[in-house]
Amino acid sequence: MTIAGVEPRNVATPADVGELAAAVRDLYADGKPFAFVGGGTELELGNAPRTLDTVVVTTACNRVIDYAPEDQTITVEAGMTVAAVCAVLAEHHQFLAFDVPDPDRTTIGGAIATNAYGRRRLRFGPIKDNIVGIAIVRPDGVVAHGGGKVVKNVAGFDIPKLMVGALGTLGAVVSATLRVHPRSEHGAAVALRNLTAAGVLRVCADIVEAALVPTSIVAFDDGGERYDCVVAFDGFRGGVDEQVRSMTGIAERLRCDASQPSPAELELLEARERSARCEAPWRVHLGAAPTKLAEFLARNDMAGIGRIYYPAIGSAILTANALSAATIERWRSDLDAGTVVVNAMPLAARGAIDAWGAPPPSWPIMRQLKANFDPKGLCNPGRFVGGI
């Protein structure tokens, strides 16, 4: 196992949260740098750790602590996989809106630490909107909680939010109370084809104008400059049917080719989305206000670059077999008020490219936060934004 190319000296697999906290406490006391790993699906994310003694694997901490279907919440240990949680929820016709590409391997803790994102974020919000409470093991081995078990709660600082996307640099998430959603009675999708980036954005604008409520909007490059855009709806049958009709009307007005894709076709597109997010040697995650991202995609040469584009969220994943540091740099200076994060790159490129780009203006506060949580700088050192 390597983290962004760095191999640890040891791998620890604590059997439960108590053992995990004890292991961390010992590592911290001994001054040994460490990192946490869940299912290991995002080990390429971030910069190479400056130094690494031990990887602490969380997957043995995988119990359901409490499931309250009538409250639409579940509390689980963070080493449980997303698929395992969803299997428990399915018994009560509920699901977790964590859209990870590899749910059989991705753990809850890993999804939180990496701020996993996906198509249904449009409707159910980002991961941080779906966490109501958390337990962490701090870098010094202390167990601490934030939030609670109820869906509405403003007592104390929102520690759960702070752990989302922190890549385990403030400690390990060891359990979380998650908001879950009822499964829909019915789902359907409409595919609109041969659109430019501006055309995709126009579709989104018309969807908003019509006050439709899609679950997801995903645009796939068609191998060239254009996109095929899939808009999905879920809910009670009558509402879904009405929205599909409205969507067909929007397509007609925009004079674009639209149809309801077959299940096989949808499966194929989802497989493509998964592979782009898990397998491509270069994976670059763009984020910007929707109009700015559409303009960026329209003005930059995208020949040879795969695009999974979430237009209404303002997010896209660009994939390629080869990219240069100069291209990443150009994109970063071109994408106004946006983020260009290199989620994966070949080992040889790592020296020349910072995975995150320039830190934001609030970085001094982040650096202080890190210093307060991890005064010895032992927890996943150097992997995060600005060398944190």
Closest among 150, 156, 155 to 179, alpha carbons compared: 150
Q: Tell me, residue by residue from 2 to 41, as one string, x for binding to other proteins by CB under 8 A and - for no binding.
A: ----------------------------------------
Distance CA 217, CA 210 (A): 15
Nearer of residues 87 and 198 to other proteins, judged by Cβ:
198
Shortest approach of other proteins to residue 158 CB, angstroms?
5
Joined tokens for residue 96: 């977790």
Say if CB 205 and CB 231 are below 8 A apart: no
Shortest approach of other proteins to residue 72 CB, angstroms?
7
The correct pick among 103, 168, 235, 381 for binding other proteins (CB under 8 A) is: 235
Q: What part of residues 236-255 is at the interface with other proteins (CB under 8 A)?
A: 236, 238-243
Nearer of residues 2 and 196 to other proteins, judged by Cβ:
196
Question: Strands across the sheet with 10-12, in order?
Answer: 10-12, 54-57, 34-37
Shortest approach of other proteins to residue 10 CB, angstroms?
27
Give the residue ranges of DSSP H helices in the chain: 17-29, 82-90, 108-113, 121-124, 159-163, 197-209, 237-253, 263-278, 290-299, 325-334, 363-373
Shortest approach of other proteins to residue 224 CB, angstroms?
26
Shortest approach of other proteins to residue 344 CB, angstroms?
17
Nearer of residues 9 and 50 to other proteins, judged by Cβ:
50
Shortest approach of other proteins to residue 9 CB, angstroms?
28
Q: What part of residues 62-81 is at the interface with other proteins (CB under 8 A)?
A: 68-73
DSSP structure class, residue 266: H
Nearer of residues 41 and 94 to other proteins, judged by Cβ:
94
Nearer of residues 151 and 268 to other proteins, judged by Cβ:
151
Q: Largest Cα–Cα distance of the chain, in whole Å?
A: 67
Q: Which residues pair with 147 in a beta bridge?
A: 133
Shortest approach of other proteins to residue 29 CB, angstroms?
16
Distance CA 331, CA 324 (A): 11
Q: What part of residues 119-178 is at the interface with other proteins (CB under 8 A)?
A: 121, 125-126, 128-129, 136, 138, 142-146, 148-159, 161-162, 164-166, 170
Strand 34-37 vs strand 227-235: parallel, antiparallel, or unpaired? unpaired
Nearer of residues 77 and 81 to other proteins, judged by Cβ:
77
Nearer of residues 57 and 122 to other proteins, judged by Cβ:
122
Closest among 72, 82, 66 to 118, alpha carbons compared: 82
Shortest approach of other proteins to residue 87 CB, angstroms?
18
Distance CA 145, CA 175 (A): 9
| Helix (H), strand (E) at residue 337 | none
Closest among 123, 314, 125 to 115, alpha carbons compared: 125
Say if CB 217 and CB 230 are below 8 A apart: yes
Q: Is 91 in the site for other proteins (CB under 8 A)?
A: no
Nearer of residues 268 and 365 to other proteins, judged by Cβ:
365
Say if CB 73 and CB 29 are below 8 A apart: no
**Cβ atoms < 10 Å from Cβ of 257:** 11
Shortest approach of other proteins to residue 268 CB, angstroms?
26
Size of interface with other proteins, in residues (CB under 8 A): 89
Nearer of residues 144 and 347 to other proteins, judged by Cβ:
144
Q: What part of residues 190-229 is at the interface with other proteins (CB under 8 A)?
A: 205, 208-213
DSSP structure class, residue 182: E
Nearer of residues 59 and 99 to other proteins, judged by Cβ:
99
Q: What part of residues 357-386 is at the interface with other proteins (CB under 8 A)?
A: 357, 359-363, 365-366, 368-369, 371-373, 384-386
Say if CB 228 and CB 222 are below 8 A apart: yes
Q: What part of residues 269-328 is at the interface with other proteins (CB under 8 A)?
A: 287-292, 313-315
Joined tokens for residue 156: 């104390």
Shortest approach of other proteins to residue 321 CB, angstroms?
26
SS3 321: coil
